[in-house]
Amino acid sequence: MEGQVILAVGREFGSGGHEAAEILAKKYGILFLDHALLKNISNEKKIALELLEKFDEKPKNRFLSRTVAGHSSSPEVNVAKIQFDYLKKLADEGTSFVVVGRCAEYVLRENPAMISVFVLGDKETKCARIQEKYNLSEEEAYRTMKRRDSSRKTYHNSHCDGKWGDSRNYDLCINSSKIGVDGVVELIDDLIRQRTGAGCKKAD
């Protein structure tokens, strides 16, 4: 693939968005960043991985933190900022990558190479996927889904101006329950081709 491509994938828990993102990264032979991002940062900046993981994707405690002149005392905010700065550095260097979550669609919004996608799904399909993947009962899967989505939403909305999952903040929103993970991959692939000018898909 010619030219830089940055794919930022936001997703609901159990929607298969992570799986689709990983498939696309392999297909294009580019870097894939999910929680492995923390390992990269840990190696590069010589920061203890456990410390980064402890505060990763957690919203700040409003009562135990303060912001002064753009600086925050919250470890959660600072760990988030370390990740955001790392993503911006990679993007500025011209590296192509796929990143899952990490408020990437907001952090990299100024970069013209960035393509943002949000993958959602119907409750039943997501629950079924979670049950199978994590070996949970239906009730446990549903509770886990609610908890994880709530946590992602809080984290995202505390760092970004736009709301998590709001279609106005993404180039494309896809319901994976209608077309499956393969369909999601195909749609995103098509979008990338059109954005990078690799040629239009022939009409049927």
Distance of CA 22 to the CA centre of its chain: 11
From the CB of 87, what's the least distance to another protein, in Å? 14
**How far apart are CB 178 and another protein at their closest, in Å?**
38
Residue choice 1, 39, 73, 179 for contact with another protein (CB under 8 A): 73
**Cα→Cα distances 41→5, 16, 37, Å:** 21, 26, 6
82 binds another protein (CB under 8 A): yes
The phi, psi pair for 33, rounded to 5°, reads: -120, 115
Both structure tokens of 14: 């159990």
Among 22, 34, 59, 75, contact with another protein (rule: CB under 8 A): 75
Minimum Å gap between C-beta 65 and another protein is: 6
Angstrom distance (rounded) from CA 155 to CA 178:
28
- Out of 27, 31, 58, 78, the residue judged to bind another protein by CB under 8 A: 78
DSSP character string of 21-83: HHHHHHHHT-EEESTHHHHHHHHHHT--HHHHHHHTT----TTS--EETTEE--HHHHHHHHH
Beta carbon nearer to another protein, 62 or 168: 62
Number of H helices, E strands in the chain: 8, 7
Q: Which is nearer to another protein, 66 or 163 (CB)?
A: 66
Within positions 42 to 71, which residues make up the interface with another protein, using CB under 8 A? Answer: 45-47, 51, 55, 62-69, 71
Enumerate binding residues for another protein (CB under 8 A).
Answer: 45-47, 51, 55, 62-69, 71-73, 75, 78-79, 81-82, 85
